[in-house]
Amino acid sequence: MPPVPTLPPFSSASRPSPPLSSYSKDDKGKKPKPFAPPLSPPRRLPLLLLSALCLLVGVGGIVFAAVVLRRPPRTITIIRCGRAEDALRTFRSKSLAGDKDGVVARPKILGFVGVQTSFSSADRRAALRSTWFPSDPEGLGSLERATGLAFRFVIGRTKDSKKMADLRKEIDVYHDFMLIDVEEDYIRLPQKTLAFFKAAFNLFDADFYIKADDDIYLRPDRLATLLAKDRPHHLTYIGCMKKGPVITDPKMRWYESSGHLIGNEYFLHAYGPIYALSAEVVASLAIARNDSLRMFSNEDVTIGSWMLAMNVNHEDNRAICDPKCTPTSIAVWDIPRCSVGERTRMMVCSWFRTGMVMVYRSSLFYSFGWTWHKEKLHAT
């Protein structure tokens, strides 16, 4: 029986190739068929649309960039820093709702004057508003434009809801407060002063920051002239400088509980009713941790100790502690010379613009302070 032939394994190589076309006489005279590539869907239109879209996006980006670069800087409404609030800018931001100019963030000014006040000092604020402190937002704005100085009453907070409600009513009428995040308490004046400088620095870009009390008479125009002077020192501390014995008797006013750290006599420092710090000085205070600065019992001593640590230039100016109005007076107030006892003093201060004579009578000057009584008399 013959053997069975073995078939080779199937593979593509073993497939028979199609016969190659060859020329023959029968093809003579026939036209060759043109080569026809396989048909595919047209793609030119989508490519054109995509290119046009990319071009439009690019042109739009260029136009947007040109408009943004030519647009004036936007003003941002910032009226708070933490829990500190500028009531005047809050009022203006509401009044200018929809205005493209808005309210400038941290406006640039010559000086910011914070008049320290308390919940029990409504009468003092009323007295100031009837003399040198403007009593409405328009007046505050006009004074700021004329002198470069912004003025606010500075007050902390309290847990007494009635006092806070009364304060809000006063704010809604005058819009001239700066509320700061500190408990309002006389024994915490150093803490309040530090909170004031921090809030003022964050809300205003000023060359000087001025702390003032609410029982002084001030000439804003002369204060602006003083602050605008050229100074070789960037770290400047302006005030009525003083020295004196350290009070170590707890029964006396201005008792210093940390007197043992100071010695028998205070270092040079400014009286508390008004003094000014340059921007560089306040910038250092603004970034300092609260617990990193020593607090003495008295606010003016506390500030003076910080100024020694910062190596500032002490600029003594007696025109900001004048006991009576003169042609050169900047701030008029009565320098206390005793802490206990009864004293009567009359201080006459002319308000040159109105021709009024402001008569202040301080009486019954006890260890806790004095009471101001004000009378208006027409100048003769």
Digit-coded pLDDT (tens) for 148-182: 999 999 999 999 999 999 999 999 999 999 999 99
pTM of the model: 0.69
Alpha-carbon torsion 140, 240, 320, 206, what sign?
Answer: negative
Residue 324 domain boundaries:
85-93+106-333
Residue 294 lies in a domain: yes
Strands 80-81 and 84-86, how do they pair? Answer: antiparallel
Residue 3 lies in a domain: no
Q: Which residue has the higher pLDDT, 105 or 206?
A: 206
Residue 312 CB neighbour total at 10 angstroms: 20
Closest-CA residue to 124 (of 257, 268, 273): 273
Residue 341 CB neighbour total at 10 angstroms: 10
Sequence length of the chain is: 380
Residue 249 lies in a domain: yes
Question: Are 199 and 81 spatial neighbours (Cβ–Cβ below 8 Å)?
Answer: yes
For residue 80, what are the β-bridge partners? Answer: 85
Residue 295 lies in a domain: yes
Phi then psi for residue 318, to 5 deg, are -75, -10
CATH number of the domain encompassing residue 310: 3.90.550.50
Q: Provide the pLDDT confidence category of residue 67 given band limits of 50, 70 and 90.
A: low
Please report the pLDDT score of residue 31 as a whole number. Answer: 55
Whether the per-residue pLDDT at 238 is higher than 80: the answer is yes
Could you report the per-residue pLDDT of 203-217, keeping only the tens digit for each? 999 999 999 999 999
The rounded distance, in Å, linking the Cα atoms of 73 and 244 is: 52
Residue 126 lies in a domain: yes
Residue 378 lies in a domain: no
Residue 27 lies in a domain: no
The tally of domains found in the chain comes to 1
Whether the per-residue pLDDT at 30 is higher than 50: the answer is yes
Please report the pLDDT score of residue 379 as a whole number. Answer: 33
Q: What is the DSSP string of 246-290?
A: ----TTSTT--TTGGGT-SBPPSEEEEEEEEEEHHHHHHHHTS-G
Q: In whole angstroms, how far apart are CA 299 and each of 24, 85, 192, 378?
A: 121, 23, 9, 38
Question: Are 243 and 320 spatial neighbours (Cβ–Cβ below 8 Å)?
Answer: no
Strands 345-351 and 331-332, how do they pair? Answer: unpaired
Residue 259 lies in a domain: yes
